[in-house]
Amino acid sequence: MNEAIIHVITVLGVLFVVLNIAAGLIWVERRLLALWQDRYGPNRVGPFGLLQVAADTVKLFFKEDWIPPFADKAVFVLAPAIVMLTALMSFTMIPVAPGIQISDLNIGLLFVLGMSSLGVYSVVLGGWASDNKYALLGGLRAAAQMLSYEVFMGLSLMGVVLLAGSFRLSAIVDAQRHMWFVVPQFLGFVLFMIAGVAETRRLPFDIPEAESELVAGFHSEYSGMKFGMFFVGEYVGVVLISVLITVLFFGGWLGPGLVPIAWFLIKVFAFIGLFILLRASLPRPRFDQLMSWGWKLMLPLALCNLVVTGAIVMATRR
């Protein structure tokens, strides 16, 4: 009984924190981008412009909930729900701190990767259901990009799994007590970082959206809260990838002095900051460049990493 209540509180707590961080990121991102572009960003609504998020949310809620008459209605409504659903599902596996974890599956990492693969559907279906040439092109690009980067995203993590000897995320964190995996698996970290950016469709890999070419890509026809779901879903994705990097390569909650959860949050926010810095700095590559990097550079590197790691693990174990 007691355990069940704790469980429910954990679930609600994680949900609350994740969604609030995601929403807050909207403000954080705008302020950080402004900072790096020598501007102020939103600074008028509330202290430091903090209420901007609330204002935007209210605005989104009051926008007309419009479904284009030519759209495939059921799929059109479903698509933004998928993006939120898959991203939030992944959080069930995340070990935030000892004891703060919703579910500690022994194949936790595979579950997370699987959810991330399903996330592709939201974009593809959203683009398809809109029945708009820009949306369709965006959806197609998303499908190609996310499938390609999915492949070596998984492979790049296999080194970590080999070192930890488990798919269980809490076990992976525990395995880093002596050394964060970023040291032995530096290549894996870089590859995962790149793939993570591509998976969340963030700049410089926002090719499915590509507002300078495709209006707004797959979500051209979306407005109101359905657009809001895509919007927040993207930030949830950013949080998720940052969390995964923290957990897989930077020792999760581990760290001296502070309480575990503090270490966890510090690390996560550092990576979120990195995401935003990437957006502020790098231009968008061409679609064909993106694909050829994925298949011709990243995938071979990921395989090499796996082979070398495997070889070393085998050698040291023996």
Partner 1 sequence: MFSILRTLWNILLHSFRPRVTIQYPDEKPYLAPRYRGRIILSRDPDGGERCVACYLCAVACPVDCISLQATEDEHGRRYPDFFRINFSRCIFCGYCEEACPTYAIQLTPDFEICEYDRQNLVYEKEDLLISGPGKYPDYSFWRVAGVQIGGKAKGESEREDAPADVRNLLP
With respect to partner 1, which residue has the nearer C-beta, 20 or 37? 37
d(CA 38, CA 310): 47
Residue 182, interface with partner 1 (CB under 8 A)? no
- Whole-number minimum distance, CB 276 to partner 1, in Å? 10
Residue 186, interface with partner 1 (CB under 8 A)? no
Residue 282, interface with partner 1 (CB under 8 A)? yes
The one segment of 132-140, 276-284, 292-300, 310-318 that binds partner 1 by CB under 8 A: 276-284
| Alpha carbon distances (Å) from 11 to 18, 84, 101, 241, 270 | 11, 16, 8, 19, 24
CB contact at 8 A, 180 and 249: yes
Residue 235 buriedness (CB in 10 A; 0-12 / 13-18 / 19+): buried
How many of the chain's residues bind partner 1 (CB under 8 A)?
A: 11
d(CA 246, CA 263): 10
With respect to partner 1, which residue has the nearer C-beta, 106 or 281? 281
The one segment of 50-58, 115-123, 222-230, 279-287 that binds partner 1 by CB under 8 A: 279-287
Residue 278, interface with partner 1 (CB under 8 A)? yes
With respect to partner 1, which residue has the nearer C-beta, 39 or 73? 39
Residue 277, interface with partner 1 (CB under 8 A)? yes
Task: Please pick, from the candidates 38, 69, 177, 288, the single residue that binds partner 1 as defined by CB under 8 A.
Answer: 38
Residue 20, interface with partner 1 (CB under 8 A)? no
Residue 36, interface with partner 1 (CB under 8 A)? yes
The DSSP code for 219 is G
Backbone angles phi, psi at 263, to 5 degrees: -55, -45
CB contact at 8 A, 298 and 149: yes
Report DSSP letters for 130-158, one per residue. Answer: TT-HHHHHHHHHHHHHHHHHHHHHHHHHH
Residues making contact with partner 1 (CB under 8 A): 35-40, 277-278, 280-282
